[in-house]
């Protein structure tokens, strides 16, 4: 009986082999006819970017005066209001920065006016300098001549020139400025 069973099993296997071989020989590997399916790209979360030109408010923190200032002097300032993006703080209030004296002139004989032209340069945040520009001083700058008129002039940057007597930008003087480049925070801001 075992010989009959063995012969029957061999006959059955032999009958199936051509089908199996035929099925294997007609199939082609996927790499030969089609490319492997490509996974759809997953969109990365959008980086939080504060765009170039975003308005900011800064505050001068030390006296800048035509009595002592010279062209090129740097002076400290700080961010007076936080910079927000979608309701989240990306640059906090109080962030320190620097401005620069662009032009200065002492009052002269015959009523020659004094002038003080200041520029915003950068904020210091996350270990880097964020460039800023377009400084426009608000109230708080002091004209010591008593009768002078304040005017805004352009000297490659915006500044404040006050004619007549000495000009002083007092500590606490606020000014508007703008970011001079896109800013991407190192840590994405959390919504408030």
Q: What is the pLDDT along the chain (192 residues), one digit of tens a residue?
A: 555 545 554 455 455 444 434 444 445 555 555 555 555 554 445 568 999 999 999 999 999 999 899 999 999 999 999 999 989 999 999 999 999 999 998 887 766 767 889 999 999 999 999 999 999 986 444 444 443 333 333 333 334 444 347 888 999 999 999 999 999 998 877 655
Question: Do both 59 and 154 map to the same domain?
Answer: yes
d(CA 83, CA 97): 14
40 located within any domain: no
**pTM (global) more than 0.75:** no
Question: Do both 19 and 93 map to the same domain?
Answer: no
Question: Do both 68 and 163 map to the same domain?
Answer: yes
Question: Do both 70 and 125 map to the same domain?
Answer: yes
187 located within any domain: no
62 located within any domain: yes
186 located within any domain: no
CATH number at residue 111: 2.40.128
What's the pLDDT at 81? 97
43 located within any domain: no
Question: Do both 78 and 158 map to the same domain?
Answer: yes
106 located within any domain: yes
Question: Do both 71 and 160 map to the same domain?
Answer: yes
Question: Do both 126 and 84 map to the same domain?
Answer: yes
Question: Do both 154 and 104 map to the same domain?
Answer: yes
Transcribe 12-60 into DSSP letters.
HHHHHHHHHHHHHHH---HHHHSPPPPPPPPPPPPPP-BPTT-EEEEEE
Question: Do both 102 and 175 map to the same domain?
Answer: yes
Question: Do both 107 and 65 map to the same domain?
Answer: yes
What range does the domain containing 162 cover? Answer: 55-179
d(CA 105, CA 176): 23
Question: Do both 59 and 153 map to the same domain?
Answer: yes
157 located within any domain: yes
d(CA 131, CA 134): 11
Question: Do both 60 and 122 map to the same domain?
Answer: yes
Number of domains in the chain: 2
């Amino acid at each position: 009986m075992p010989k009959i069973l063995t012969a029957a099993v061999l006959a059955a296997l032999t009958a199936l082999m051509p089908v199996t071989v035929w099925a294997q020989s007609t199939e082609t590997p996927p790499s030969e006819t089609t490319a492997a399916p490509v996974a759809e790209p997953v969109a990365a979360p959008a980086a939080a970017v504060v765009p170039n030109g975003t308005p900011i408010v800064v505050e001068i923190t030390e006296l800048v005066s035509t009595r002592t200032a010279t062209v090129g002097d740097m002076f400290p300032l700080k961010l007076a209001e936080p910079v927000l993006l979608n309701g989240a703080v990306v640059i906090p209030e109080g962030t320190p920065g620097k401005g620069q004296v662009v032009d200065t002139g002492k009052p002269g004989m015959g009523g020659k006016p004094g002038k003080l032209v200041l520029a915003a340069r950068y904020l210091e945040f996350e270990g880097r300098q964020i460039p800023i520009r377009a400084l426009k001083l608000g109230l708080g700058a002091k004209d010591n001549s008593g009768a002078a008129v304040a005017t805004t002039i352009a000297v490659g940057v915006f500044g404040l020139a006050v004619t007549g007597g000495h000009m002083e930008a007092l500590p606490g003087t606020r000014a508007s400025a703008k970011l001079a480049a896109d800013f991407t925070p190192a840590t994405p801001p959390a919504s408030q």
